[in-house]
Amino acid sequence: MVGRHRQRTEIGAALEQATRPPTGWEEEADWRLWPVALGFLACFTLMTWPWLLGQVTIPWDAKAHFQPQIQFLADSLARGEWPWWNPYVFAGQPQVADPQSMIFSPPFLVLAAVNASPSLWAVDVTVLLAMAVGGIGLILWCRDQRWHWAGALIVAIAFSFGAAMGWRLQHTGQVLSLAYWPWALFALERAVLRGSLRYGVLAGVVSAAIVLGRDQVALLCLYLLAGRVVWLWATALEPTSLVRRSLLPLVAAGIVGLALVAVPVLMTVLLAADSNRPVIDFEGAGRGSLHPALLVTFFAPQVFGAAGAMAEYWGPPSFAWQGTGLFIAQNVGQLYIGAVPLILLLAGLFSGRLADREIRFFAIAFVLMLLYALGWYTPAFRAMYELMPGVKLYRRPADAVFLLGALGAILAGYVAHRQFSSPWERPASVVGGAVALTVVVALALPVLFAVPLDRLPLLPGPLALAAGLFALAGVVIWFAGNRIATAPVQMAALLAVVTAADIGWNNGPTTSSALPPEHYEAMQPGTRNDTIAFLKAHAVADATRRDRIELAGLGFHWPNVSMTHRLENTLGYNPVRLGAYSRATGAEDHVGLPDQRKFSKLMPSYRSPLADMLGLRWIATGAPVETMDKSLPAGALRLAARTKDAYIYENAGALPRVLFAVEARTADFEAILASGTWPAFDPRTTVLIEKAAGPRAARRPGSARIVAYRNTQVVVEVDSPDGGFLVLNDIWHPWWFARVGATEVPMLRANVLFRAVEVAPGRQTVTFEFQPLRGMLEQLRRPAPAVSR
């Protein structure tokens, strides 16, 4: 017995020496990477197999918004076209400046390059692979920290599918932003601590990938990376020496990162300035705060019914829990990272291990992210909103739950590392009591929430499940703790499998993260959907006409389907749109429900001059059109078809895409937008521009025909005896340029929204080209006429 005790003591001393925190920089831990990575990938597969096998698909924004963006990117590349301008939503958008276009997303750029028509499954697997790669990045980082491999395994499992990474799987851009972060952290620390120029360049590349996400998660990741560098400097034994040694790699990281992000970010800034939402005020941001009651989802993820239908959900905000002033979805507040990781985290908190020097930064960061996520419920977010650059661009501080999940995983993994590295260091019984009491109190709180809302009958199942899981996790941790010294591999595997099974079950397929692929059949490139088939068969694209269509009130995933099938849509789904277009047409973020189709002063009805100028010929609605357009005269639109999904109407008054005007008149576009009143004119013969020349002799009619029409180039032939104005009923934007023959000419803003070019008599070829880089530089140097918001 004494011999065994002495042997364990010697083993413990050796492990303690091997895992002692480094005083300067030391090489990574001496365990091999690939067995741990394979173990993690097995656990990741266990958590995500329903998606990997194609039994379910990632729904909501992943399909309604991101899937068509990726399909547009892939289709454009396959046809040899630049994807910079998107003609298939909102009558045309500067896609290159859209922060959610996926053009600058490395995983999807690779997918688009090899797959001309990405399926639902292909896009889902790409997202999941990015999440898995993020987990492997954290394993590498843990190895650099000289952590025990068991701790690295727990970190990767909880990070890759814990909290928002599982529950908000549909927010593709934010998932990718967080998936890149471990690699940026890994490269940045090596650049700083090793003074490595190579890793400085890598840090710049990966940080640029984060920035190009241009979402709030990306912003918070960057703040964490910057804070980590400052922390490493401040806590070094020789700060001055470390700063001096790391300066060149960090400068290299900055130069490389800036070179990669400068143009896309500047384009996005200019788009935002001319968009419908240049900034978010404090109240608008505060409405996206994390309600404090949602903190109980750390312990009981199913307690509010977030996995079910919206009508069943009763957490804040919901139909049951009203009066919060919040505007967040039911999956936003889900914080569950697994019972084993949470018990480890709490044990680290109560034992003081989270105050250790090597983990203290991440403990402080966790607290700060929690304060940020709580938004207007603490004074801290107000200070962050006012002082931290970039925060005012985003409307939902609760997005910080992505970082809470990541940081919680790191904290839990550190405690696991300490437990496996020093198995003789057992926490005091008071720590176990404090953890148990915390879990009991947390599981009792939903009862207090449920009583006034009359939801007590809904609690037994979720609370029993949570209590059972925490009891199981506690037993597993106790069992493993007694055997780590003699069977570390088996005990680490036990903890990993229990954690993966737990997270896979509780954060697995829900109505927020998984739906049957058949639900999105209309988004498949080769769909047989009858609505899509009718529109593709009847929307004309010839020498003069290019019919636009509208998809309104057909369901959440329909507005951007036009991108997949090359249908030029007057609406779409995007929180950022050109401001003048939104004002002119009433276009809002989304039009999935019939009552979401809003009209404007300038376009009060589908039968209006602006609808005709847009060439809006085919209107597919989810309800009879007269119930959506209250101003529509009886019989104004012909019901052309009734499909399974839609009523399809024809607007026979839709105008051709190209017109030849013989007269130009000066018009105040801002006054027209504000009043909704057009001056008396015939757009077939007259064009309104912002500054027309004086009266001149009458001109004879001319003609115009489209010769070529591509994403970023439109070629039109005109023929006129006396000259005049070619009018192209495509959206005016300052990054479009025009030339007649080889001579560049001014491109005029026409009829509030459109483009026109003055041409001389005779046969001419007019080319419109979208040149975003040149347009951006000219706009920065000498701002083009502002597009009204």
Question: Is the distance from CB of 724 to CB of 702 less than 8 angstroms?
Answer: yes
Task: Indicate the residue among 471, 506, 541 that finishes a domain.
Answer: 506
Tokens of 171: 């927010």
- Going by pLDDT thresholds of 50, 70 and 90, the confidence category of residue 403 is very high
Residue 665 exposed, middle or buried by CB count within 10 Å (0-12, 13-18, 19+) = middle
Q: Model confidence at 7, in pLDDT bands (50, 70, 90)?
A: very low
3-state SS class at 254: helix
Res 26 pLDDT > 60: no
Final residue before a domain boundary, out of 620, 650, 680: 650
Asked if the structure places residue 269 within a domain, the reply is yes
Dump strand ranges (E) for 150-227.
none
Asked whether residue 36 is domain-assigned, the answer is no
**Residue 480 and residue 533 in one domain:** no
CA dihedral 222, 223, 229, 231 (to 10 degrees): -160
Residue 163 covered by a domain: yes
Q: What is the pLDDT of residues 62-89, one digit of tens each?
A: 999 999 999 999 999 999 999 999 999 9
Tokens for 195, please give them.
């003074």
My answer on whether 576 and 725 are in the same domain is no
Cα–Cα separations (whole angstroms), residue 218 to 173, 341, 532, 707, 708:
9, 25, 36, 43, 39
* Count of helix runs (H) and strand runs (E) in the chain: 27, 15
Whether residue 248 is contained in a domain is answered as yes
Q: What percent of the chain has pLDDT over 70?
A: 95
Task: Determine the Cα–Cα distance for residues 184 and 162; give it in Å rounded to an integer.
Answer: 20
Q: Quick one: DSSP state of residue 789?
A: -
**CA dist., res. 41 & res. 36, Å (int):** 9
Helix 33-52, helix 488-506: angle, nearest 10? 20
What is the tens place of the pLDDT at every residue in 198-233? 999 999 999 999 999 999 999 999 999 999 999 999
User: Which of 562, 551, 561, 636 has its CA nearest to residue 587?
Assistant: 551
Domain total for the chain? 3
* Radius of gyration from C-alpha coordinates of the chain: 30
Q: Are residues 400 and 483 in the same domain?
A: yes
Q: By mean pLDDT, which of 125-134, 372-381, 687-696, 746-755 is the weakest?
A: 687-696
Residues 435 and 546 in one domain: no
Reading phi first (left if > 0) and then psi (alpha if -120 to 50, else beta), residue 546 is in beta
Same domain, 669 and 628: no
Please tell me the predicted confidence (pLDDT) of residue 113.
96
- Look at residue 20 in the predicted model and tell me its pLDDT: 39
Q: What is the pLDDT of residues 346-358, one digit of tens each?
A: 999 999 999 999 9
Cα 359 → chain centroid: 29
Q: Is the pLDDT of residue 595 over 90?
A: yes
pLDDT score recorded for residue 277: 63
520 located within any domain: no
Averaged pLDDT for residues 362-385: 98
Structure tokens that stand for 320 in this block: 């049951």
Question: What pLDDT is attached to residue 280?
Answer: 85
* Single-letter amino acid code for the residue at 365: A
Q: Are strands 686-689 and 663-666 parallel, antiparallel or unpaired?
A: parallel
Residue 402 to residue 414: CA distance in whole angstroms? 19
pLDDT in tens, 36-45: 999 999 999 9
Pairwise CA distance, residues 667 & 750, whole Å? 9
Q: How confident is the model at residue 3 (pLDDT cuts 50, 70, 90)?
A: very low
Cα–Cα distances (Å) from 86 to 91, 589, 730, in that order, read: 8, 16, 11
In sign, the C-alpha dihedral spanning 67, 72, 77, 82 is: negative
57 contacts: CB under 8 Å, gap ≥ 6: 51, 63, 120, 121, 124, 514, 515, 516, 517, 519, 520
- Which tokens in the block code for residue 617? 């010929």
In a domain, residue 513? The reply is no
Same domain, 574 and 492: no
Amino acid at the residue 749: R
Q: Is residue 206 part of a domain?
A: yes
The strand pair at 548-552 and 616-621 is best described as: parallel
How far apart (Å, rounded) are the C-alpha atoms in residues 136 and 118? 25
Cβ atoms within 10 Å, residue 572:
27
- Contact present, 332 and 400 (Cβ < 8 Å): no
Contact assessment for residue 672 and residue 752, using Cβ atoms and an 8 Å cutoff: yes
A 10 A CB-CB count for 452 gives: 9
Q: How far is Cα 533 from Cα 538, in angstroms, rounded to an integer? A: 9
Strands 762-770 and 713-720: antiparallel
Both 309 and 350 in one domain: the answer is: yes
For helices 120-144 and 106-114, the axis angle rounded to 10 degrees is 140
Q: Does residue 325 sit in the same domain as residue 461?
A: yes
Token pair recorded at residue 497: 């499998």
Distances (CA, A) of 191 to 26, 201, 723: 13, 8, 64
d(CA 512, CA 490) in angstroms, rounded, equals 35
Q: Indicate the burial class of 115 (C-beta count within 10 angstroms; 0-12, 13-18, 19 or more).
A: middle
**Triad 272, 278, 284: Cα angle to 5°:** 135
Mean pLDDT of 568-588: 95
Q: Any bridge partners for residue 639, and if so which?
A: 649
In a domain? residue 132:
yes
What confidence score (pLDDT) does residue 246 get?
Answer: 97
Residue-wise burial string across 261-278, b where 16 or more C-beta atoms lie within 10 A, e elsewhere: bebbbbbbebbbebbbbe
Q: Please check whether residues 646 and 700 belong to one and the same domain.
A: no
How far is it, in rounded angstroms, from Cα 729 to Cα 244? 58
617 lies in the same domain as 681: no
Mean pLDDT of the 271-285 span:
84
Please give the mean pLDDT across all residues of the chain.
94
Question: 8 is in which domain, residue-wise?
Answer: 2-26+44-506
Give the pLDDT confidence of 515-574 residue by residue, as tens digits. 999 999 999 988 999 999 999 999 999 999 999 999 999 999 999 999 999 999 999 999
Q: How far apart are CA 669 and CA 750, in angstroms?
A: 9
Residue 27: pLDDT band (50, 70, 90) is: low
| Three-state helix/strand/coil letters over 91-151 | CCECHHHCCCCCCCCHHHHHHHHHCCCCCHHHHHHHHHHHHHHHHHHHHHHHHHCCCCHHH
CATH label of the domain that carries residue 666: 2.60.40
Q: Looking at the structure, do residues 402 and 254 belong to the same domain, yes or no?
A: yes
Does residue 447 sit in the same domain as residue 329? Answer: yes
Q: Residue 776: which residues within 8 A CB-CB, separation 6 or more?
A: 263, 266, 267, 270, 735
pTM of the model: 0.93
